[in-house]
Amino acid sequence: MATAMDQINFNGAGGLRLMADSCGAPEDPVVLLLPSAGQSRAFWHGAAQALAAAGRYAICLDLRGHGESGHAADGRYDIDAHAADVRAVLAALPRRAFIVAAGLGALAAIAAVGEGEPHLVSGLALVDVTIWFDVERAGHLQKSLASRTASFDDEAAIIETISAQNPDEPRPGATAPILAAFARGADGRWHWRGDARAITAAGSPGPREQLQARLGTAVARLGTPVLLIRGARNETISAAATQRLQALIPNAETAEIAGAGHYAATDQEDAFNAVLLDFLERAAPRQPLTYSGGSDPRVLRDALGCFGTGVTIVTTIDETGAPVGLTANSFTSVSLEPPLILFSLARNSANLGIFTQAGRFAVNVLHIGQQPHAGRFARRDVARFDGIDWALRATGGSPILAGSLAAFDCSTFAVHDGGDHLVFIGRVNHAWFEPHRDPLLYFRGKYRRLHFT
C-alpha cells in the first residue's frame, strides 16, 4: 500500500523556499532525495515509498527554480547555489541524512558534502552522474534540457520530445514522474513548471575544466560510502565514465540497472529500489544503533538524544558589560545544600573565555513560547540579544530573559574538565520561577511540547 506524502518546506540559501514531500516516520533514519535538472521532486516518489516501507524517512526535494520551489530573484542557479541549498537542508534535518541524488542533484550533493561537512551525511547514492562534460555531451545536454521549456500540445508530446533526445535508449519506463515536472497552462498547453533560467544554467554550468577539477577534488573528499548507479542502457553516461568516477572516490561501489536508460530510478523502479535498499542497509544500517568506545560520536549523540530534556539559555556578562549567551540543554541540578547546579560548555564555544573569566552565570529555563529564542541562541550568524527583553535582576548577577519559566542566577562554584566540554558548577544566589506555563522540551534532536491527556 502506498504511504501518504506530506508536503514540507525548507529555507534554502538566502532563505529561498524549497518545497519537498516527505514520506515515512520522521523518527526513522532520513534519506534526502534530489532530482536532476528538469525534474521535479515527484521523480523520487516511487523510491520514497519503498524507502518508507523499509523504515526510512524519505524527503523528496524540488531544486531551486524547479517544480514548486522558489525562483532565485538574482537568477543564481549555479552549482554553488544548489550546493548551498543542500547544505541548508542538511543542517535543518534533525539527524544525519543519506543522500540519493541524480544528475544535477548529484553534482550539488558532491559539492555540498565534498567541499563542506562530510559528517552531515551517512552515505550517498549518486544516479546517472558524471563530472566529465566533453563538448559534445555538454551540447547534447543543453539541447535536451532546452527542449523542455517549449510548450506542448499534450502529455504524449512531452514524452515524445524527451525520448527523441536519446533515440538509442529505451523509452522512459514510467512517464508520471517525468510529467510531474509539467503543468497545463491557461492557454491549454503544457509547460515546464520551473524557472527557465534554471534549465539554461543546468545546461551550461560554466567553464568545463574548472568544474571538472573542482568536482574531482570534492568527490575524493566525500569520506562516506558512495554507490554510483547507472542505467545499463544510458547512452549519455558510459560505464567507463562511471568506473573513472569510482576510482576517484575512496569508498565507492557501482551498480548497473539492467534494461534502464536515462532514468535508472524510474525506468526499472523495482530493480533500482532493490539495489538502493541493499546498499543502504550495508552503508547506513537502520538497526542496531550501537555505539562502542571510539566509534562514530554521532551515534552516541543520538543515544543521548533519547534522554528528553528542557531547554535553557545560559548567560553571562563580558568585561564590557555586554550580555552573552547560548542555548544549552546540559543543565542539571546537583545539590540543595549548598545550592548547586551545572551545565557543560563546549570547549569550542566562542564564549568559553568569557564564561571562564566572568565568575558568574545564569540559567534561563525556556517555556514553550520561547522556542524562537532557543533557535536564535544556537546560531552564530545573529546578534543574539538584539530585540530580546532581558535585565540584571540582582547586583553582580547575569542576564535574565523576560518571561523565562525559571531562572537561576549563580556564582561560578567550580569549573571541571569534561573532555571536549568544561563543566560549570554554579552556586545559586537567586532563583525565580513562574508556575503556569509549559516548558520547551528537547528530545531526539527536536523541540517538543508536553502532551498531557
Ligand X SMILES: Cc1cc2nc3c(=O)[nH]c(=O)nc-3n(C[C@H](O)[C@H](O)[C@H](O)COP(=O)(O)O)c2cc1C
- Contact positions toward ligand X, by CB under 6 A? 311, 326-330, 343-346, 349-351, 378, 380, 442
Q: Amino acid letter at 264?
A: A
d(CA 313, CA 273): 45
Q: At its nearest, how many Å lie between ligand X and the CB of residue 222?
A: 25
DSSP summary character for residue 231:
E
Q: At its nearest, how many Å lie between ligand X and the CB of residue 446?
A: 9
Q: At its nearest, how many Å lie between ligand X and the CB of residue 353?
A: 10
Residue 303 vs 350, nearer CB to ligand X: 350
Q: At its nearest, how many Å lie between ligand X and the CB of residue 327?
A: 4
Specify the length of the chain in residues: 453
Residue 22 vs 309, nearer CB to ligand X: 309
Residue 16 vs 313, nearer CB to ligand X: 313
Closest CA to 333 of 447, 410, 446, 421: 410
Q: At its nearest, how many Å lie between ligand X and the CB of residue 349?
A: 3
Q: At its nearest, how many Å lie between ligand X and the CB of residue 401?
A: 14
Q: At its nearest, how many Å lie between ligand X and the CB of residue 148?
A: 41
By the 8 A CB rule, do 203 and 141 touch? yes
Residue 272 vs 390, nearer CB to ligand X: 390
d(CA 22, CA 3): 10
By the 8 A CB rule, do 272 and 260 touch? yes
Q: At its nearest, how many Å lie between ligand X and the CB of residue 331?
A: 7
Q: At its nearest, how many Å lie between ligand X and the CB of residue 27?
A: 17
Q: At its nearest, how many Å lie between ligand X and the CB of residue 374?
A: 6
Residue 208 vs 448, nearer CB to ligand X: 448
Which residue has the closest beta carbon to ligand X?
330
Residue 396 vs 445, nearer CB to ligand X: 445
d(CA 289, CA 154): 50
Residue 99 vs 406, nearer CB to ligand X: 406
Closest CA to 371 of 407, 341, 405, 332: 405
Query: What count of Cα atoms within 13 Å lies in the side-chain half-sphere of residue 364?
Result: 29
Closest CA to 387 of 372, 397, 409: 372
Closest CA to 102 of 282, 278, 236, 258: 236
Residue 69 vs 329, nearer CB to ligand X: 329
d(CA 166, CA 158): 14
* Grid cell for residue 60: 523528496
Closest CA to 46 of 331, 277, 256, 238: 277
d(CA 283, CA 279): 6
By the 8 A CB rule, do 102 and 124 touch? no
By the 8 A CB rule, do 421 and 348 touch? no
Alpha-carbon separation of residue 341 from 394, 400, 407, 438 (angstroms)? 18, 16, 12, 21
Residue 30 vs 441, nearer CB to ligand X: 441
Residue 11 vs 147, nearer CB to ligand X: 11
Residue 174 vs 346, nearer CB to ligand X: 346
Give the rounded distance of the alpha carbon of 216 from its chain centre.
23
Alpha-carbon separation of residue 337 from 53, 325, 344, 428 (angstroms)? 53, 27, 21, 10
d(CA 60, CA 34): 6
Q: At its nearest, how many Å lie between ligand X and the CB of residue 421?
A: 6
